[in-house]
A and B are shown apart, each in its own frame.
Chain A
Amino acid sequence: MKRRKGSSDSLLTKAGGELDDRFKLAGPARVLFNKVFPDHWSFLLGEIALFSFILLLLSGTFLALFFDPSMVEVTYDGAYVPLQGVDMSRAYESTLHLSFEVRGGLFMRQMHHWAALLFMASILVHMLRIFFTGAFRAPRETNWMIGIVMFWLGFFEGFFGYSLPDDGLSGTGLRIMEGMTASIPFIGPWASAALFGGQFPGTTVIPMLYIIHVFIFPLLLLALITVHVALVFIQKHTQWPGPGRTEHNVVGFRMFPNYVMKQVGFMLFIFGVLAAMAGLFQINPIWLFGPYEVSVVSSASQPDFYVMYLDGLIRLFPSWELRIPPYFTLPPVFWPGIVGMGLSVMLPLLYPALERRFTKDRGHHNLLQRPRDNPGRTSLGMMVVVFWIIGVISGGNDVFAEKFHISLNAMTWAGRIGLVVLPIITYYVTYRICLGLQQHDREVLAHGLETGILMRDPNGRFYEVHQPLAEPDEHGHTELEYNGWVVPKKMNRVGALPPQDKGFFKSIEEPSENGASSHEEIESGKH
């Protein structure tokens, strides 16, 4: 503690004084600098989404300088030989121009696309963490709902962005969207005509999607992200239960310097991963797809992965069409496409309220739950995860069929049956696993850890020596009560001892120069 030198140097003091004279910052800044954040790897998942969003804004701005969202028909005469002389829309042409004739344009386009995928992937993973640990419970239901809304904004933001180049693959996606829109009872055909300015594909949809993609949705996302982060800040982050941690405190480190340095480092790391992926992994090679033409399609036509489960459900849904002769038809795509999407929005949105209703738990919860401690919720969540994964796999079932030489029809049937059966099995299995883990925790708390030492009693029976976790009380009992903490399961985890030997290439365990080993320092620091 004495390492820090003297007081702040005069220049900083002076600048601070000038600022405070004008903005009265000393008090609020102190509160900000000193705010305590809990530390856990799973609390960093939302940050991945936040920082990919920032990169999306940056790279998207670059792309907007060169992209022209126009469906005017032009003849390509750019650098890419196999498309020279081909008629296409200006949107597609400018995307090709951006990819082949703008210095670093392809790199930026790929970075934008990878960042979009990472944005959606990290939202999903973040959402799973929140769900399985019960972090959405009161008082944080609002933030959960904002998160769900942001997921769906991101979903459409991504889909619209993927549609903008007006290439063969994304046009097929729009075509499917048109089919889904037209299936909505009563308003379907009118909604489709409004969306496409008449008959699909028309000439107005790309400009419309463009303004949504670059202005309306980013603005909404930005606003919601601000509220989302502000609420985390105001309500203070949840924490895992553990020694000294209660519902009424936060245990961790300060915002400055520790938290902010880690955040900055993590942000740069995410940017770095995305930049490396953008350079090394080719994504969405639109020049191979050609301009969108209604009579052209490719095998293995998939949407981006976050839309794929919906596409999978559409593939798996049986050919059930409701006809109300002679005037009305309810096409099969309505159920997975419109109803399925509606449920995917509403169920997660309402889940906190539903859980409150069923558990009648109205209290505030600032300590997280280990997934095993709420087997019902965990199993329900795993059910949804399995359902989603089957949907995603089915969304790419033709690629699977082709790559692994499985019959396409067999893939479809496997998906149909799996979609019904596997979630149920998953529920049961997850529930049993949760109970088993709970039981083991309590066994260890009651009898102690397995030591691996075998003893023989006078009767000749072998038994294993257990190391109790607590000192015996006056009755000689060593049972501990379970209180949501992680229970050590191995001898060297008792007291969360660090690994015995440190260093990656060579041991750095040699005695430090001030005489005390690093272990002792830490031990002595605790009281």
Chain B
Amino acid sequence: MSAHNDSARDEVEPVDLSDPKLTRFEVYKEGLRRDDIEIIHYEPRFPKPGTKTEKRMERIVSGLFLLSGLFATLFVVAYIWWPWEYEGAATWQDPQTWYTPVLGFTLGFSLLFFAVGVLTWAKKLLPVEELVQDRHDGGSSTDDRKIAESTVDTIVEDMGLRRRPFLVKTALLAAAPLGLAAVAPLGALIKDPGDMYTVTGWNADKYNDGNPVGIMMKDGALVRPDMVSAGGQITVYPAIDHGATNQFPTAPVLLIHLREEDAEILRGNLYPMYQDVDALWGNFVAYSKICTHVGCPASLYEQQSQRLLCPCHQSQFNVVDNAAPVFGPATRHLPILPITVNDEGFFEAKSDFLVPPGPAFWNRPSLPEEDEK
């Protein structure tokens, strides 16, 4: 086989297509010759037609097609008549839970049988063939290149691109703003981020007419100290309109009731800025629930090891040390919401967070006090 090379094909003579004695195959081969293809090896899979093995192969393929049709029919039948509507908690004995599997099984196998049928046909019944075709890699012929070059030159000459440089320059000059004009409407998307990273739903002036913002649970119930037992925690939101919705993505807070001994440690570790505003109330501390890494809720509170874990990137925060990061990619503590209890016995926020909660952003001010111990 290695004797074949590109020159072998040149030996094949063109045939005269008007010759009436040509067989179909000879005409066909002339087509191959014109496409620079040469047959290395070509023979029917079954040299003698109608042998037992050939018949057997045909039977297999047609069997596969019939099976495919059968499964397709089953699919349509199941699609229409199999009970499918969701009816509440169900076990594997309820037929509607099998609707999707039955669809997948029937359609899948219908397609697979047809596929194997076609593939078997191609592999076992088509003639064994090996052909070699000239690749004609590389560029065009020198003539073609020369002609193309002259053509382009003629076009350039006709337009006078070389003779009229001023025209070209003004066209380019105009095209630049025109291009800009094409993308300018995208500017409709631009919005001033404003204070969206720094002001949260706890801001009394912006969201509560200057009155301290109360603390509520998701269902709107205001939170009292006795609603959180030692070692417990609840997720709380600003008690304002839509305070517990996604409109205030940096507002959710984890209100933790520390055990006495843990609260003692936290009080010892508290950053000066939190000491100054007396951010804790009793043994209660309110940490922003939004991770300072990229903003998932860091809400896996481990009440024995006193860690808060963020499930997205495994940042870990030390609850008894201002929720300072102790592991993982986070770099900042979870801001504490300064809280107190009002005259009616409900929690309320003393102010907004002292530092922006949530993930860092490019123009986030780096306040020196947040690193102070």
Do A's and B's CB atoms come within 8 Å in the complex?
yes
User: B1-18: which residues lie under 8 A (CB-CB) from chain A?
Assistant: 1-6
Q: Which B residues are CB-close (under 8 A) to A266?
A: 115, 119
Interface size class of chain B, counting residues whose CB lies under 8 Å from the partner chain = 35 or more
Task: Known A-B contacts: A79-B87, A251-B132. Give 6 more (CB < 8 A).
Answer: A34-B133, A193-B196, A199-B196, A201-B249, A329-B362, A513-B51
Q: Can you list 10 contacts pairing A with B, beta carbon distance less than 8 Å? A: A30-B35, A104-B79, A268-B115, A268-B118, A279-B103, A321-B331, A329-B362, A331-B331, A364-B137, A525-B41
Query: Is the CB–CB distance between B328 and A247 below 8 Å?
Result: no
B164 interfacial contact with A, CB 8 Å = no
How many positions in chain A have a CB within 8 Å of any CB in the partner chain? 127
Is A1 a contact partner of B359 (Cβ separation < 8 A)? no
B86 touches A201 (CB 8 A): no
Give the complex CA separation of A513 and B297 in angstroms.
75
B187 to chain A, nearest CB (A): 9
Tell whether A120 is near chain B: CB-to-CB under 8 Å.
Answer: no
Q: Tell me whether B240 is interfacial, beta carbon within 8 Å.
A: no
Residues of A within 8 A of B (CB): 1-4, 6-7, 30-31, 34-36, 79-81, 100-101, 103-104, 106-107, 110, 139, 172, 175-176, 178-180, 182-190, 192-195, 197-201, 235-236, 243-244, 246-254, 257-258, 261-262, 264-269, 271-280, 292-301, 311, 314-321, 323-333, 337, 364, 366, 397-398, 408-409, 412, 508, 512-514, 516, 521-522, 525-527
Tell whether, in the assembled complex, residue A176 and residue B296 are in contact, meaning their CB atoms are under 8 Å apart: yes
Task: Determine the distance from Cα of A406 to Cα of B256 in the docked complex, in whole angstroms.
Answer: 28
A525-B43 CB under 8 A given contacts A107-B104, A276-B109:
yes
Question: Can you list the 7 inter-chain pairs with the closest CB atoms, starting with the nearest?
Answer: A279-B104, A179-B294, A276-B108, A272-B111, A272-B112, A268-B115, A265-B118
Interface positions, chain B 66-118, Cβ under 8 Å from A, are 79, 84-89, 99-105, 107-112, 114-118
Q: Which residue of B lies closest to A96 (CB)?
A: B86
* Cβ B131 vs Cβ A189 within 8 A: no
Most chain B CB inside 10 Å of its own CB: which residue of A4, A6, A337: A4
B105 in contact with A258 (CB, 8 Å): no
B142 CB-CB contact with A under 8 Å? no
Q: Is the CB of B133 within 8 A of A36?
A: yes
Interfacial chain B residues near A323, Cβ < 8 Å: 366
Q: Is the CB of B295 within 8 A of A104?
A: no
Q: How many Å lie between the Cα of A234 and that of B132 in the bound state? A: 16
Decide if B293 is an interface residue (CB 8 Å cutoff).
yes
Q: Is the CB of A514 within 8 A of B1?
A: no
Q: Is the CB of B49 within 8 A of A324?
A: no
Cross-chain contact B107 with A35 (CB below 8 angstroms): no
Do the beta carbons of A521 and B43 come within 8 Å of each other?
yes
Contacts of B250 in A (CB 8 A): 294
| Contacting pair A194 B189 (CB below 8 A) | yes
Residues of B within 8 A of A274 (CB): 108
Chain B, residue nearest A184 (CB): B362
Contact status B102-A246, CB under 8 Å: no
The answer to whether B273 has its CB under 8 Å from any CB of chain A is no
B40 & A244 in contact (Cβ 8 Å cutoff): yes
Number of CB contacts from chain A to chain B under 8 A: 361
**Shortest beta-carbon distance from B301 to chain A in Å:** 12
Point out the residues of chain A lying under 8 angstroms from B6, CB to CB.
246, 248-249
- B114-141 interface code vs A (CB 8 A; 1 in, 0 out): 1111110111001111111111011000
The distance in angstroms between the C-alpha atoms of A515 and B178, with both chains bound, is 79
Question: Contacts A250-B132, A398-B311 hold; do A317 and B329 have CB atoms under 8 A apart?
Answer: yes
- Output the least CB separation between B234 and chain A (Å): 11
Min C-beta distance of B256 to chain A, whole Å = 15
Q: State which of A179, A269, A332, A337 has its C-beta within 8 Å of the C-beta of B115.
A: A269
Among A31, A101, A280, A512, which residue has its beta carbon within 8 angstroms of that of B53?
A512
Find out whether the CB atom of A194 lies under 8 angstroms from the CB atom of B101.
no
* Least distance between A243 CB and chain B CB atoms (Å): 5
Q: How far is the CA of A311 from the CA of B314 in the complex (A)?
A: 11
Q: How far is the CA of A208 from the CA of B102 in the complex (A)?
A: 36
A179's nearest neighbour on chain B, judged by CB, is B294
Interface residues in B123-175 by Cβ distance below 8 A to A read: 123, 126-135, 137-138
Evaluate whether A193 and B191 lie within 8 angstroms (CB atoms) in the complex, with A277-B104, A328-B362 already known: yes
Contact B137 A188 (CB under 8 A): no
Q: How far does the alpha carbon of A522 sit from the alpha carbon of B293 in the complex, in Å?
A: 66
A265 in contact with B360 given A247-B137, A258-B129, A294-B249 (CB within 8 Å): no
Q: Beyond A272-B108, A299-B311, is A293–B132 a contact (Cβ under 8 Å)?
A: no
Residue of B nearest to A248 (CB): B135
By a CB distance below 8 angstroms, the chain B residues around A337 are: 294
- Residues of chain A lying within 8 A (CB to CB) of residue B121: 261, 265
Tell me the bound Cα distance from A30 to B28 in angstroms. Answer: 10
Taking a contact as CB atoms under 8 Å apart, the answer to whether A295 and B289 are in contact is yes
Q: Is B252 an interface residue (CB 8 A)?
A: yes
**Complex: how many Å from CA A321 to CA B87?**
52
Q: Is the CB of A325 within 8 A of B126?
A: no
Q: In the complex, what distance in Å separates the CA atom of A512 from the CA atom of B51?
A: 8
B330 x A319 contact (CB < 8 A): yes
Q: Please give, as numbers and ranges, the residues of chain A lying within 8 Å of B105 by CB-CB distance.
A: 276, 279-280
Please give me the residue from chain A that is nearest to B79 by CB atom: A104
Q: A252-B130, A329-B362 are in contact. Are A301 and B312 (CB under 8 A)?
A: yes
Contacts of A300 in B (CB 8 A): 311
Give chain B interface residues in 159-204, CB to chain A under 8 Å: 189-193, 196-197
Whether the pair A244, B237 counts as a contact (CB closer than 8 A) is: no
Give chain B nearest CB distance to A271 CB in angstroms. 5
Task: Say yes or no for B313: interface residue by CB 8 A criterion.
Answer: yes
Check B137 against A35 for contact (C-beta < 8 Å). no
Q: B44–A273 contact, CB under 8 A?
A: no
Q: Given A176-B312, A319-B329, check contact A295 B299 (CB 8 Å).
A: yes
